[in-house]
Amino acid sequence: MERADAPRAAEGGRSSRWDRSAPIRYPDPDIVVLDPRFEAMMLGHAAIERIATGFRFTEGPAYYGDGQYLLFSDIPNDALLRWCEVTGTVATLRRPAGNPDGNTRDRQGRLLSCELGSRTLTRTEHDGTVTVLASHFEGTRLTGPNDVVVKSDGSIWFSDNGAGIRGNYLGDKAPAELPFRVYRLDPESGGMTIAVGDMKRPNGLCFSPDEKRLYVVDTPSGTKTTWVYDIVDGRAVNGRQFFDGTPGFADGIRCDTEGNVWAAFSGGEGQDGVAVFAPDGTLIGRILLPERCANLCFGGRKRNRLFMTASQSVYALYVEAQGNPGG
């Protein structure tokens, strides 16, 4: 681990480590401690690993402990992919796949996917069939689900922010027919309600461990912030700013069991990767990658392996923290 005041590697050094097979010196110099609270979460003898590469834009990691694999999206390639933890190989799970973005598993272990191309939220059943859970709100077509989490009561919360209709690379260019929002879906009744309606472009989201708070990233043009809401009767209320990452910004986010928020982050040299925030909103550490990071999840047998989807590659790092279930 590197202290905040330790000297950085020479410019280009972080890129060169990925171009050769030589081992990385411990502690990994691209793990940056900004607060003592982060130091306890890092392992001095674990390094960031690039586990797969050669994609166009990776997103939506979801770990399957029962199969020992990581599922993730390659949005422009319209594919759901599977990286095997045992063999290290990548296989195509589904293509075409509706230009999938965020993914997670529900409390029954089924895959939930936000599809930018089809502008639907889908569930892949255990037999492989695909069920559309949401495509419209009050008769009007969604702008394109982006990220999704599941609460312990089975309710599904997802952001809808038009990422796939802004152009033809991640989906199909089209006008937005609804405001950008976070919705709550009751999987039993199929009923949808507006959970968050006061953001410009809601993006990644996650619950605190006690599920009393919902964190939501807002990524409009201009200032990009992450907010926290109180959960009251199925609605997110009392929104207030949790952190402002400007000029960088967060994308996908996850909480660990202690309430720290791990944010996939973009901001250029010295910021691309993961930014970790304590429950009080203090930035306590960074995990630096040579590419901007779009999303992340915890996995592995003990939920202590951080998987990071970052532009053209997927990375992993063992940490001394455990991911909160449901995201």
59 is in an annotated binding site: yes
Task: Judge whether 251 is annotated as a binding position.
Answer: yes
Q: How far apart are CA 287 and CA 90, in angstroms?
A: 24
Q: Do the Cβ atoms of 276 and 295 come closer than 8 Å?
A: no
CB 317 within 8 A of CB 308: yes
Q: Which residues pair with 2 in a beta bridge?
A: 32
Q: Is 160 a catalytic residue?
A: no
The vertex-198 CA angle with 193 and 199, nearest 5°, equals 105
**Residue 137 CB-half CA count within 13 A:** 23
Helix (H, G, I), strand (E, B) or coil at 179: coil
In this structure, the number of other CB atoms found within 10 A of the CB of residue 6 comes to 10
Q: Is 161 within 8 Å of 171 (Cβ atoms)?
A: no
Q: Is 30 annotated as a binding residue?
A: no
Q: What is the dihedral of CA 116, 127, 157, 65, to 10 degrees?
A: -100
Active-site choice (74, 78, 251, 272): 251
Contact 308, 59 (CB under 8 A): no
77 carries a ligand binding annotation: no
Could you give the CA distance from residue 285 to residue 277 in angstroms, rounded to a whole number?
Answer: 7
Q: Residues forming the annotated binding site for a divalent metal cation? A: 59, 203, 251
Q: Residues forming the annotated binding site? A: 59, 146, 203, 251
Catalytic residues: 251
Q: Residues forming the annotated binding site for substrate? A: 146
